[in-house]
Structure 1
Amino acid sequence: MLEPSIDALQEKINSKYTLVTLSAMRARQMSETKNPLVDHPFSHKYVGMALEEILAEKLTIADGQKKDSE
């Protein structure tokens, strides 16, 4: 079982494409800075940490971008 679950993540960001893009960009950033936004992440990999940040609402899409719910 993958954590966090895709269902929980899609409650935060409805588009799977946006989830993948956002988490990949953040993972690349973390590989350089080594600074996650969540305290004590469960994942040891950067993509997992980025997904945890999305679930914790520490990482979101910009306000100028359209969300599916709008």
Structure 2
Amino acid sequence: MAQVHDSMMTPRIEDLMSKVDSKFKLVTLAALRARQINSYFGQLGEGLGASIPPQVTSVARKPLSIAFEEIAADKITAEPLPDETEADTEAAPAE
């Protein structure tokens, strides 16, 4: 028999939002990781081993669901972006 969920999404969006500082970062991080997971499953038979396998044991079959579970389990973290002022000073030519 199918497992009953209390919401449409597991892990809950509130739990995921506590791991990142914006919805945009959550969606971007999950989408990038889902592409990596999809590549991993696509090359399993070829023996290339270029992609990182899923970091959590999941019953989900969809790469995006697995990515969300990894974020909720703190296996995937968002790297802080450098400040714009630091990037501008590094890109500016020295006089």
TM-score, structure 1 as length reference: 0.82
Work out which of the two has the higher radius of gyration on C-alpha atoms and give 1 or 2. 2
Deviation (angstroms), 1:56:
0.4
Aligned residues: 64
Please, which runs of 5 or more residues in structure 1 have no aligned partner? none
Identity of paired residues, percent? 41
CA distance in 2, matches of 1:31, 1:48: 11
SS of equivalent to 1:12 = coil
Deviation (angstroms), 1:33:
1.3
Structure with the bigger RCO (C-alpha within 8 Å, sep 6+) is 1
Tell me what 1:49 maps to: 66
Q: CA RMSD in A?
A: 1.4
Write out the 4+ residue segments of structure 1 that deviate beyond 3 Å after TM superposition: none
Deviation (angstroms), 1:43:
1.7
Tell me what 1:65 maps to: 81
